[in-house]
């Protein structure tokens, strides 16, 4: 039962990567100042130390003991040789230079559970569930999750929690806590173990409300500074987790009181992306539908063909206004892909008829026109070809929606 409760708390808390807080500007401002990445530091943001500080060394000891407890809890579900480890480690290496602790060493483990989650312990111990690794749709989305957990480590969220949470003072005196955090040689290993046990609980709860906003902010900044991964992936991840939470039965637990509402997290990430001038092009980082164009031969004649996903959208067969069938297909595919990146939805697409031809229009722009000559070549009617195109669009959008894991 305890494991189940921890997994529920873990899942609830990781919607961390989930949203922004329109109702808490103070928290957003704190996140903005605390999470400024080293790569973008100016005179107002001192450069990070070149190596581990005494505080970092203390956190490593605490994190090691906490990690041992997590490993004991999950037992043989900790995958020692996960095929996903090289992928995770590569992303960490690429993001590290843009964090507040570019010298930080990370210890990564994968938990064999279908739950979609991740959490971080002090000292760079990161855990990812197999469910999460299977759910993310691109390296960009995985980088968003990893950046969030690195943010917890680099912004010292565990240490800040240790200093302010009265639970620690109930089992350890303020003097002992201070000695542990200062990496004193006089500290008893058992006291570090006690601290580590409490840290595990905090990690599963993701260190509280403000820490989650800060980690979201940090992830956006790390990805943006790397110029390797698309920062919009932070948004798609938090939106996905918000959807996951909305479809789950509500759990009455105190943890809900310490985390931002999913819609607040999404709003905060969107604001940060807009502040950085990042286009909100979700389909760049998802396994999304896209249009392709090619020249095919039908009835011994070269014509164009546009597909959306696995569906034939249209096959232009005649030249129109000096534009060949292949060029007509290419124009349609390019226009459709541009709009898809800009989050085109099916409800924004309609059809119109004029002078015997049918056009499919999206956001006031003509995506394709079906001519009487096209219908004649295919031995059908303009309306039938128009209905076929709309059917292909509906099917592709529906399949895209169903493919989303979370």
pLDDT digits (tens, 9 = 90+) for 91-105: 999 999 999 999 999
372-375-381-382 Cα dihedral, nearest 10 degrees: -60
CA distance 30 to 24: 10
CA distance 257 to 78: 30
Using the predicted structure, report yes or no on whether residue 164 has a pLDDT greater than 50. yes
pLDDT score of 372: 97
CA distance 314 to 291: 11
Residues sharing a CB contact under 8 Å with residue 279, sequence separation 6 or more, in sequence order: 232, 341, 342
Tell which wins on pLDDT, 116 or 189.
116
Report pLDDT digits (tens) over 65-85. 889 889 988 999 999 899 999
315-317-320-323 Cα dihedral, nearest 10 degrees: 80
In DSSP notation, 322-353 reads TB-HHHHHHHHHHHHHHHHHTT--GGGEEEEE
Using the predicted structure, report yes or no on whether residue 177 has a pLDDT greater than 90. no
Give the burial string for 140-163 (b: 16+ CB within 10 Å, else e).
bbbbbbbbbbbbbbbbbbbbbbbe
What's the predicted TM-score (pTM) here?
A: 0.78
Contact (CB, 8 A) for 99 and 148: no
Residue 193 — pLDDT band, cuts 50, 70, 90? low
Residue 63 — pLDDT band, cuts 50, 70, 90? confident
169 CB burial (10 A radius; 0-12, 13-18, 19+): middle
Give the burial string for 361-383 (b: 16+ CB within 10 Å, else e).
ebeeeebbbbbebbbebbeeebe
SS3 362: strand
Using the predicted structure, report yes or no on whether residue 192 has a pLDDT greater than 60. no
Neighbours of 3 (CB within 10 A): 11
Q: Put the strands of the sheet holding 357-362 in their side by side order.
A: 349-354, 357-362, 365-370
| Phi (first) and psi of residue 126, to 5 degrees | -115, 135
pLDDT score of 25: 34
Joined together, the tokens standing for residue 240 give 């996905």
CA distance 125 to 142: 17
pLDDT score of 41: 37
| Phi (first) and psi of residue 138, to 5 degrees | -165, 165
């Amino acid at each position: 039962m305890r494991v189940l409760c921890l997994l529920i708390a873990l899942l609830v808390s990781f919607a961390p990567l989930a949203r922004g807080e329109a109702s808490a500007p103070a928290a957003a401002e704190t996140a903005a100042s605390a999470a400024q990445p080293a790569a973008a530091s100016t005179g107002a943001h001192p450069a990070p130390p070149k190596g581990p500080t005494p505080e970092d060394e203390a956190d490593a000891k605490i994190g090691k003991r906490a990690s041992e407890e997590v490993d004991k809890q999950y037992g043989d579900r900790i995958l020692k040789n996960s095929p996903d480890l090289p992928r995770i480690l590569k992303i960490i290496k690429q993001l590290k230079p843009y964090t507040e602790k570019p010298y930080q060493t990370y210890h990564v483990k994968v938990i064999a559970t279908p739950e979609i989650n991740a959490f971080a312990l002090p000292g760079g111990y990161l855990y990812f569930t197999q469910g999460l690794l299977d759910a993310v749709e691109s390296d960009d989305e995985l980088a968003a999750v990893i950046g969030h957990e690195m943010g917890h480590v680099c912004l010292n969220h565990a240490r800040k929690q240790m200093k302010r949470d009265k639970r620690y003072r109930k089992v350890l005196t303020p003097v002992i806590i201070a000695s542990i955090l200062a990496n004193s040689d006089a500290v008893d290993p058992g006291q570090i173990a006690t601290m580590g046990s409490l840290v595990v609980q905090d990690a599963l709860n993701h260190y509280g409300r403000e820490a989650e906003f800060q980690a979201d902010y940090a992830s956006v900044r790390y990805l943006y500074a790397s110029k390797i991964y698309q920062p919009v992936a932070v948004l798609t991840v938090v939106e996905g987790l918000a959807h996951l939470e909305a479809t789950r039965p509500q759990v009455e637990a105190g943890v809900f009181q310490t985390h931002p509402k999913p819609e607040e997290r999404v709003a905060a990430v969107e604001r940060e992306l807009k502040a950085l001038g990042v286009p909100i092009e979700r389909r760049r980082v998802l396994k999304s539908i896209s249009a392709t164009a090619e020249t095919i031969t039908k009835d011994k004649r070269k014509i164009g063909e546009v597909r959306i996903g696995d569906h034939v959208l249209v096959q232009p067969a005649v030249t129109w206004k000096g534009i060949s069938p292949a060029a007509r297909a290419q124009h349609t595919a390019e226009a459709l892909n541009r709009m898809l990146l800009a989050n085109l939805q099916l409800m924004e697409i309609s059809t119109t008829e004029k002078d015997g031809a049918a056009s499919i229009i999206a956001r006031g722009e003509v995506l394709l026109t079906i001519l009487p000559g096209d219908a004649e070549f295919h031995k059908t009617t303009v309306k039938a070809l128009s209905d076929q195109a709309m059917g292909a669009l509906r099917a592709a959008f529906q399949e895209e929606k169903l493919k989303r894991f979370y």
